Amino acid sequence: MTLTPPSHPRHAFLDRDQSILAFNERVLDWACRRDVPLLERLRFLAIVSSNLDEFFEVRFAPHHMARLTHEQRGVATVETYRALTERIHALVARQYAIYNDELLPALEKRGIRIIAHGERNPRQRRWVRDYFVEQVQPLLLPVALDPAHPFPQVANKSLNFIVRLGGRDAFGREHEIAIVKVPRALKRFVLMPPVKGSKQQHFVSISSIIRAHLPDLFPGRTVVEFSQFRVTRHSDLALDEEEVKNLRTALRLGLQQRHFGQALRLEVSAGCSDFLANFLLQQFELPPESLYRVPGPVNLVRLNQLVDQIDAPALRFERYTPGWPVALTPGQSFFERLKQGDVLIHQPYENFDAVLAFLREAVEDPNVLAIKQTIYRTGKRGAMTELLREAVRRGKEVTAVVELKARFDEEANIDHAERLESVGAQVVYGIVGLKTHAKMLLVTRREDGRLVRYAHLSTGNYNPDTAKLYTDLSYLTADEDLTADVDAVFNHLASQNRLPRLRKALMAPFHLQKGLLERIEACAAAAKAGQGAHILLKMNALTDEPLARALVQASQAGVVVDAVVRGACVLPAGVPGYTEHVRIRSIVGRLLEHSRVFYFRWGEHEELWLASADWMNRNMLRRVELAWPVTDAALRARIMDECLRLYLSDQRDAWLLEPDGTYVKASERAPRGARAGLVSAQSTLMNRYGTKG
């Protein structure tokens, strides 16, 4: 991903989609690291596959259409299609090389094997046949293709077989192609019964079970050749909300069609014949570049099922138990504690259960009159939804702003909305045309005859499961100005009245981008005046061009810009004469970096902000987002230490963005003799707050 600054440097940004693929290459590096437990390496391999699936489902369609029509689609062209396709093919090839040449042999040395058909002994073959007859065959329906049975609808990312048959069917015809769909209900990896006295764990894949018994599905015919296949489709729901009368109903209908969007990628077994491969390409209307021949399972995402079944604690990360937040005393009332000052919870180093405890106390406190909360990605189990339902039962006013359009969580959020409505909660769906991405929880309590507000704000989602894996900052406050802002935002989302002037917070799409630009410009003006200026940023993605352009201009004025950007980043770093004062790094570790922290210092003035938003155009202009300042000096110092300075000193999990647009490991820049003791920000914080084992 080489950067060539054009004649107008303000337009010289890195390619966003190439940057996303570069991030996945960094994730894949964890599958190669010998210091990572073996099963975790396998899981990182699966994570890359999941990320690639989403890349095709969400990002790839414009490039695909540019290839088919030879017309530019936004920034997508035939050239971008070819460049991306070439890089993805190389990434997939590397994935399977790691899987076949490193991970499978390493697992085998530890007595864990995936037994292929040709490797099974007679006892294992009998067991597989019995399993097929009893558990698999009753769920399979082979479809022979003829004019009455055209090529069937193949769902997005489903596992299928294509079979070429010899001989004639029951009616004397020679139709030779058949399709076998593999139901999602079938486990993709099955643990075989152990040999008595042996500690070895042998697994068999569902694809191997089916391929060994394909002749049983076509009695009287000859299986000439076959292949697994899997198609990835465009799956980003697009609704004209102005034309939709009932968003929830429209989304339910849209979800039914999501699995059958435009085909974008076809994966087949490495040994698939050209005849079958070309037949499938023709059916899905795909060009040859869309074909991916893979030497292994066509869906490496399902390796997660294998990892979960293997009994080998020594091959996993050491169990980590987050500590109770240092600012909270177990059993103490949250309301009493917040009267003393704001509280910061650094997840998952500190336990997200404290957030649930805050809501639970609000639900059970008879003095609490109203609870308002946004629901974006809370997970399918919905612990917070159940607490809100209980609040309604106890007579409290409950308002939930449910974002139905949270990508790939639409169905779960519809269910949450319906469960809340069923007990009488007030459910609203935000603003037409905007996603409500802000993470807010507001509690209103009667105290000594007056109403007092308490708020929880977060950089991440209200999801107890991902809160164990994502780094985020939770912020609890009773600050009158900030809680008044949160209340104003909730009222705006429900009533759609004009938003009043906020006292402290910045809200997208109205003020956030403008407010950030003003602070960048203030730093630039200070630097031009000979005063010190520094911008420190931490986020998941930096792709908003107005903000990136402002950072370029600030750096050219002398502002030092340090950014920790986990994923996509269009801002180049260290380019002579262009971004010499910009330094960008990406942290890819055991945990998924997710917190958003923005620090600005110009002259004697400094500000630190937390936010729900990354620096992306959609977050700034097409979403409801919230950023809030941290004014408590002690909390600001803690965030500076734990989220910025510590991450800027990371040498073990950090990657540095080079002037040519490539990333290099920070460890490679360390002196050879010092590499054994390199700093890992995540490990440091895990040791500081939690317990292992």
Q: Quick check: helix, strand or coil at residue 673?
A: helix
**In the prediction, which pLDDT does 463 show?**
87
Chosen domain end from 470, 487, 503 = 503
Residue 109 domain-assigned?
Answer: yes
Q: For residue 4, what pLDDT band results from cuts at 50, 70 and 90? A: very low
Predicted confidence (pLDDT) at residue 524 exceeds the cutoff of 70? yes
Residue 618 assigned ligand-binding role = no
Tell which residue, 409, 487, 473, has the closest CA to residue 444.
487
Residue 1 domain-assigned?
Answer: no
CA–CA distance, 636 with 619 (Å, rounded to integer): 24
Tell which residue, 623, 446, 432, 603, has the closest CA to residue 528.
603
Q: Does one domain contain both 138 and 46?
A: yes
Q: Quick check: helix, strand or coil at residue 27?
A: helix
Question: Encoding tokens for residue 574?
Answer: 């260290």
Q: Does one domain contain both 139 and 22?
A: yes
Residue 588 domain-assigned?
Answer: yes
Strands of 167-278, DSSP E: 177-182, 189-191, 201-205, 222-233, 263-269
Residue 377 assigned ligand-binding role = yes
- Per-residue HEC secondary structure of 390-440 comes to HHHHCCCEEEEEECCCCCCCHHHHHHHHHHHHHCCCEEECCCCCCEECCEE
Instruction: Please give the torsion angle defined by the CA atoms of residues 275, 277, 283 and 284, in that order, rounded to the nearest 10 degrees.
Output: -160
Predicted confidence (pLDDT) at residue 397 exceeds the cutoff of 60? yes
Q: For residue 557, what pLDDT band results from cuts at 50, 70 and 90? A: very high
**In the prediction, which pLDDT does 239 show?**
45
Residue 259 assigned ligand-binding role = no
Q: Which of 453 and 378 is assigned the larger pLDDT?
A: 453
Predicted confidence (pLDDT) at residue 8 exceeds the cutoff of 50? no
Predicted confidence (pLDDT) at residue 490 exceeds the cutoff of 80? yes
pLDDT tens digits along 621-652:
999 999 999 999 999 999 999 999 999 999 99
Residue 276 domain-assigned?
Answer: yes
Q: Quick check: helix, strand or coil at residue 271?
A: coil
Tell which residue, 40, 268, 310, has the closest CA to residue 154.
268
Q: Does one domain contain both 200 and 291?
A: yes
**In the prediction, which pLDDT does 89 show?**
98
Chosen domain end from 300, 315, 330 = 315
Strand-strand pairing, 189-191 and 506-508: unpaired
Instruction: Please give the torsion angle defined by the CA atoms of residues 626, 686, 644 and 23, in that order, rounded to the nearest 10 degrees.
Output: -80
**In the prediction, which pLDDT does 378 show?**
65
**Which residues are known to be catalytic?**
437
DSSP state string for 275-332:
HHHHHHHHHHT--GGGEEEESS-S-GGGHHHHHHH---GGGSPPPEEPBPPTT--TTS
**In the prediction, which pLDDT does 424 show?**
86
Q: Quick check: helix, strand or coil at residue 174?
A: coil
| Whether the Cβ atoms of residue 140 and residue 159 lie closer than 8 Å to each other | no
Residue 2 domain-assigned?
Answer: no
CA–CA distance, 579 with 552 (Å, rounded to integer): 6
Q: Does one domain contain both 179 and 112?
A: yes
Q: What is the pTM of this model?
A: 0.91
Number of domains in the chain: 3
CA–CA distance, 11 with 553 (Å, rounded to integer): 12
Predicted confidence (pLDDT) at residue 243 exceeds the cutoff of 50? no
pLDDT tens digits along 216-225:
999 989 999 9
Q: Does one domain contain both 203 and 348?
A: no
Domain span at 414: 321-503
Tell which residue, 140, 154, 163, has the closest CA to residue 231.
154
| Whether the Cβ atoms of residue 384 and residue 373 lie closer than 8 Å to each other | yes
Mean pLDDT calculated for residue range 498-512:
95
Residue 416 assigned ligand-binding role = no
Residue 160 assigned ligand-binding role = no
Q: For residue 663, what pLDDT band results from cuts at 50, 70 and 90? A: very high
pLDDT tens digits along 20-29:
999 999 999 9
**In the prediction, which pLDDT does 375 show?**
85
CATH of the domain at 125: 3.30.1840.10
Q: Does one domain contain both 58 and 108?
A: yes
CA–CA distance, 303 with 306 (Å, rounded to integer): 5
Residue 210 domain-assigned?
Answer: yes
Strand-strand pairing, 263-269 and 506-508: unpaired
Residue 51 assigned ligand-binding role = yes
Q: Which of 195 and 63 is assigned the larger pLDDT?
A: 63
Lowest mean pLDDT among 295-299, 462-466, 539-543: 462-466
CA–CA distance, 437 with 560 (Å, rounded to integer): 30
**In the prediction, which pLDDT does 158 show?**
94
pLDDT tens digits along 570-612:
999 999 999 999 999 999 999 999 999 999 999 999 999 999 9
Q: What is the mean pLDDT of the chain?
A: 91
pLDDT tens digits along 334-389:
999 999 999 999 999 999 999 999 999 999 999 999 999 998 776 666 788 899 99
Q: Does one domain contain both 135 and 274?
A: yes
Q: Does one domain contain both 525 and 481?
A: no
CATH of the domain at 628: 3.30.870.10
Chosen domain end from 283, 315, 347 = 315
**In the prediction, which pLDDT does 585 show?**
98
Q: Does one domain contain both 411 and 556?
A: no
Q: Does one domain contain both 193 and 50?
A: yes
**In the prediction, which pLDDT does 556 show?**
97
**In the prediction, which pLDDT does 670 show?**
77
Question: Encoding tokens for residue 24?
Answer: 């996945």
Residue 576 preceded by cis peptide, ω within 30: no
Q: Does one domain contain both 472 and 606?
A: no
pLDDT tens digits along 142-194:
998 876 678 888 999 999 999 999 987 777 777 899 999 999 999 999 999 98
**In the prediction, which pLDDT does 313 show?**
95
Q: Does one domain contain both 334 and 453?
A: yes
* Residues ≥6 apart with Cβ < 8 Å to 681: 587, 589, 646, 647, 649, 650, 653
Lowest mean pLDDT among 113-127, 183-197, 230-244: 230-244
Residue 3 domain-assigned?
Answer: no
Cα 158 to chain center, whole Å? 20
- Per-residue HEC secondary structure of 426-465 comes to EEECCCCCCEECCEEEEEEEEECCEEEEEEEEECCCCCCC
Residue 535 domain-assigned?
Answer: yes
